[in-house]
Amino acid sequence: MILFPAIDLKGGQCVRLKLGDMQQATVYNTDPAAQAKSFEDQGFEWLHVVDLDGAFAGHSANGDAVEAILKATKNPVQLGGGIRTLDHIEAWLSRGLRRVILGTVAVRNPDLVIEACRKFPGHVAVGIDAKGGKVAVEGWAEASELGVIELARKFEGAGVAAIIYTDIDRDGILAGINWTSTLELAEAVSIPVIASGGLASLDDVRRMLEPDAQKLEGAISGRALYDGRIDPAEALALIKASRAKETA
8 is catalytic: yes
What span, in angstroms and rounded, lies between the C-alpha atoms of 172 and 40? 22
61, 76, 62, 144: which is closest to 110 by C-alpha?
144
Q: What is the DSSP code string of 13-32?
A: EEEEEETTEEEEEEEEES-H
Q: Which residues contact 43 (CB under 8 A, 6 or more apart)?
A: 232, 233, 236
By DSSP bridging, strand 218-221 and strand 193-196 are: parallel
Identify the active-site residue in 51, 53, 129, 171: 129
By DSSP bridging, strand 124-131 and strand 162-167 are: parallel
Question: Is 210 buried (19+), middle (13-18) or exposed (0-12) by CB count in 10 A?
Answer: exposed
What span, in angstroms and rounded, lies between the C-alpha atoms of 188 and 64? 38
- The answer to whether 53 and 87 have CB atoms below 8 angstroms apart is no
Catalytic residues: 8, 129
